[in-house]
């Protein structure tokens, strides 16, 4: 049991770090009506990882991180441009971008005998592989993102469109780190489920989103420890179940006739 806890605790810390940045970003994504941007940017970041891997760079090495971040930033800036040029169809453009990046990744991995496993790791994630050294680096990055978001972004974002591009850049940086920690599916769930579940909250919305996501990571990892089932899908299921309960409890009851 102690060995299991030694693996699960760093994984829980990884989940809490992802929660710290993705809950507020997810609320902004939901407000902007660009729900699938996280899937698109995460998939593009993953494509950068695959390209670096195909070129023979060491997994988790600096070249892979640069490739992932460069791809995510490029994708985010392109989506920022399309949002200004064709705002009425931005959600459709984001969906096409995701599908394109996913299929290019499949084509690149087609000749790799371990390609299916690599794609699975990208989507489902390997949260149990989190190590303290890597988490420390991610924590510093997330601290910078949160400082910029809460210190500048929220204030400037209300009064100026200049923050528009910066939102995409911060989003790309956050997603690049998190997709390699927890996978595309958990990135999407952490961004959207707490934001959607608490959308009717007038007070304590951010705090409630943080609690929901943290409980989901703790529950999913705990069940994984007891059952040996993969933690990523368990956390997604726990988060969705908790989100549904919160959404139902916070929704107004229909008036009786």
Q: Which of 40-49, 137-146, 165-174, 189-198 has the lowest mean pLDDT?
A: 165-174
* 1-15, 53-67, 115-129, range with the lowest pLDDT: 115-129
Helix spans in 33-89 (H): 37-54, 62-85
Q: Between residues 100 and 90, which one has the greater pLDDT?
A: 100
- Mean pLDDT of the region 84-88: 85
Q: Is the pLDDT of residue 184 over 60?
A: yes
| CATH of the domain spanning 2-250, picked from 1.10.620.20, 3.40.50.620, 1.10.3470.10, 2.40.30.170 | 1.10.3470.10
For the chain, state the CA radius of gyration: 18
**Given phi > 0 = left and psi -120 to 50 = alpha, else beta, which region is 33?**
left
User: What is the DSSP code string of 159-221?
Assistant: T-TTHHHHHHHHHHHHHHHHHHHH-HHHHHHHHHHHHHHTTT-SSSHHHHHHHHHHHHHHHHH
Q: How far is it, in rounded angstroms, from Cα 168 to Cα 25?
A: 10
Contact 142, 174 (CB under 8 A): yes
Query: Which residue, chain included where needed, has tokens 């902007």?
Result: 32
Is the model more confident about 94 or about 5?
A: 94
Mean predicted confidence (pLDDT) in 86-114: 85
CB 78 within 8 A of CB 84: no
Alpha carbons 174 and 145: distance in angstroms, whole number? 7
For the chain, give the mean pLDDT.
Answer: 83
4: confidence class by pLDDT, cuts 50, 70, 90: low
CA angle 193, 197, 203 (to 5 degrees): 125
Query: How far is Cα 198 from Cα 32, in angstroms, rounded to an integer?
Result: 16
Token code pair at residue 163? 């923050």
Q: What is the mean pLDDT of residues 169-192?
A: 87
Q: What is the pTM of this model?
A: 0.83
In degrees, rounded to 5, the angle at the alpha carbon of residue 14 between the alpha carbons of residues 105 and 7 is 100
**Token pair for residue 218?**
């703790």
pLDDT: is 158 or 253 the higher one?
Answer: 253
Residue 105 in this model has a pLDDT that exceeds 50: yes
Q: Tokens in use for 229?
A: 């089932």
């Amino acid at each position: 049991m102690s060995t299991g806890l030694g693996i699960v605790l760093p994984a829980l810390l990884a989940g809490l770090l992802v929660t710290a940045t993705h809950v507020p970003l997810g609320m902004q994504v939901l407000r902007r009506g660009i729900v699938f941007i996280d899937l698109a940017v995460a998939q593009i970041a993953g494509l950068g990882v695959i390209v670096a891997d195909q070129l023979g760079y060491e997994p988790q090495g600096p070249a892979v991180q640069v490739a992932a971040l460069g791809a995510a930033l490029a994708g985010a800036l392109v989506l920022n441009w399309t949002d200004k040029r064709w705002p009425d169809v931005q959600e459709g453009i984001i969906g096409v971008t995701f599908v394109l990046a996913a299929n290019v990744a499949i084509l690149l991995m087609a000749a790799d005998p371990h390609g299916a496993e690599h794609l699975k790791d990208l989507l489902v994630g390997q949260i149990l592989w989190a190590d303290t050294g890597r988490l420390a680096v991610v924590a510093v990055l997330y601290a910078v993102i949160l400082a910029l978001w809460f210190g500048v972004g929220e204030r400037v974002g209300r009064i100026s469109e200049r923050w528009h591009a910066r939102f995409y850049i911060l989003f790309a940086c956050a997603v690049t780190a998190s997709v390699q920690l927890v996978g595309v599916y958990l990135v999407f769930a952490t961004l959207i489920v707490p934001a959607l579940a608490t959308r009717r909250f007038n007070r304590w919305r951010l705090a409630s989103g943080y609690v929901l996501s943290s409980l989901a990571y703790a529950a999913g990892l705990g069940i994984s420890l007891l059952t040996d089932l993969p933690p990523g899908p368990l956390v997604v299921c726990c988060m969705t179940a908790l989100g549904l309960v919160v959404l139902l409890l916070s929704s107004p009851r229909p008036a009786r006739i």
